[in-house]
Structure 1
Amino acid sequence: LRETRSYTWGLVIPDLTNFGFASIARSLEAHCREAGIQLLIACSEDDPALEQRVVDNLISRQVDGLIVASSGHSDDIYARIHDRLPVVQLDRHIGESRLPMVISDACKATAELVRDMASECGAEIYYFGGLLDLSPSRHRLAGYELGLHRAGLEADPARVRHRDYQPSSGYQLMAELVAELGAPPRGLFTASFTLLEGV
């Protein structure tokens, strides 16, 4: 009480069954444990209303800070929270937020992969993505288009398909594509592990 610290941090991620987020949560938990901090993990299911509830719940438990992979489009709530306790954006950039963030260069990594794929598959590389209002979705799609461009190919909008990041969406997108083509495509980029699992 004298230190006004709880030695806990809150981690808000969309889904613990997503391999990427589960790996991040595991590593963060180990680092926090080594530092004497308890990591409390909550899932938002990419639902902004649920995200707000789990964040409020973590704050009511007096966490010392929040690490959030947000599904929101505005950082107003997090900017107000940040006045009281640290908030770090994880994997996703909320609009034009100036809050601290840790994200990968999804555009660059995707462009390199797609360019390499194009050397074997030509232009027939399909793209399965998630919700375009999430920053990683936009960055990965931009990387797909850039990779094709660097391989000297044009991106065909008919080869770009979107749903959400659930495995069932990957399954449905692939079933529809195989029915349409009569065979699997020569190349396919999925914007998440969960979509790939469905494929």
Structure 2
Amino acid sequence: MKIIGIGKNYVSKKEDIKALKNGDQTIFLKAESTLVTNNEDVVYPSITNELAYEVELVAKIGKKGKDISLENAPSFISEIAVGIDYTAKDVLAASRENKGPWALAKGFDGASPISNFKPISDFLDLSYINFNLVINGEEKQTGNTDFMIYSFAEIIAFVSKYMTLEPGDLIFTGTPALGAGLNVKGDHLQAFIEGELLLDFKIV
């Protein structure tokens, strides 16, 4: 099972999409051991002092595909969840100094808490899904897929040119342009899709 992420995929103003949509998607991979499920608490990792959160919708692949067309791409999604893509920002900064990869900064244990999944049939329009993140009772991020630079379908079509997508693969589809920040021990995170609380955990 692969965990695929896309970076810098949301805008705060829809009119910016055209200028930024140049086909150059920022794709990275995360280890399966990053997953935290069933609303279990996340242990603050010892490898960082800067644990950065980003709330994202997560698409689960339901069938095998390679070189998937844009038109057929939505049919490869079986379910959708909400998750947090964690980054160890200090680890990432150190790696970037040497032009290194993102692997350790994104791939540590606990870096991908996700909610239970909702069937794709629950979503009438993939291009208009609301989601948000509340931390300690305060809304920190709010997003709608209408503000994505690259849609679910465009991500799937692009990634499948390079690697075969298989049932169970997960795609973190990007975070809203505003509101990402740092977590500390004791923080209580709650993430919602269309107002429904799906992800609920603490940093311990």
Using structure 1 for the length normalisation, give the TM-score.
0.23
User: Higher helix share goes to which structure?
Assistant: 1
Question: Which of the pair has the greater relative contact order for Cα pairs under 8 Å at 6+ separation?
Answer: 2
